[in-house]
């Protein structure tokens, strides 16, 4: 990579492993805890949304250029809104 590419940030960026395809595959990687925390309760809602393509698309970007909303922060915010809405539906 030369200095010009570095300045323009055009160099290839490494990608992390892909997300599991289904909620079932996601749960297969999960570790159980003795007591359920707030994160565990949020995870229940996350699992309920996981197979929704529009929700999952918000989680897949690693760089702003890949984000549905144009930035990772905006995608995270939209995902949080969907989690909040779903949690209300689930009571």
Q: DSSP string covering 33-69, please?
A: -SS--HHHHHHHHHHHHTT-HHHHHHHH-SSGGG-SS
Q: What angle do CA 88, 26, 60 make, to 5 degrees?
A: 80
Enter the DSSP assignment of 26: H
Give tens-digit pLDDT for 13-37.
898 988 999 999 988 887 766 788 8
For 69, other C-beta atoms within 10 Å of its C-beta total: 16
Range of the domain at 85: 33-91
Indicate whether 45 pLDDT > 80. yes
Overall domain count for the chain: 1
More confident residue, 46 or 4: 46
Is 3 within the bounds of a domain? no
């Amino acid at each position: 990579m030369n200095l010009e590419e570095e300045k323009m940030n055009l160099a290839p960026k490494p990608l992390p492993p892909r997300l599991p395809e289904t909620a079932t595959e996601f749960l297969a990687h999960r570790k159980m805890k003795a007591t359920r925390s707030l994160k565990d309760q949020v995870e229940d809602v996350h699992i309920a949304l996981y197979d929704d393509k529009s929700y999952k698309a918000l989680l897949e970007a690693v760089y702003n250029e890949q984000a549905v909303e144009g930035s990772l922060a905006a995608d995270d915010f939209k995902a949080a809104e969907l989690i909040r809405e779903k949690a209300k539906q689930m009571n």
